[in-house]
Amino acid sequence: MTPRYLKIPEAVAYSGKSRTALYIAIARQEIIARKAGKITLIDRESLDAHLDSLPRAEIRVPSAA
Burial letters 5-30, b for 16+ CB under 10 A, else e? bbebeebbeebebeeeebeebbeeee
2 against 36, higher pLDDT: 36
What are the domain boundaries of the chain? 5-52
pLDDT of residue 55: 95
pTM, two decimal places? 0.85
Do residues 3 and 48 touch, judged by C-beta distance below 8 A? no
DSSP-assigned states of every residue in 41-56:
EEEHHHHHHHHHHSPP
Mean pLDDT score of the chain, rounded to an integer? 95
Residue 13 is classified by DSSP as H
pLDDT in tens, 14-62: 999 999 999 999 999 999 999 999 999 999 999 999 999 999 999 999 9
pLDDT of residue 65: 63
Q: Is the pLDDT of residue 13 over 70?
A: yes
Collect all residues with Cβ–Cβ distance below 8 Å to 57 and sequence separation of at least 6: none
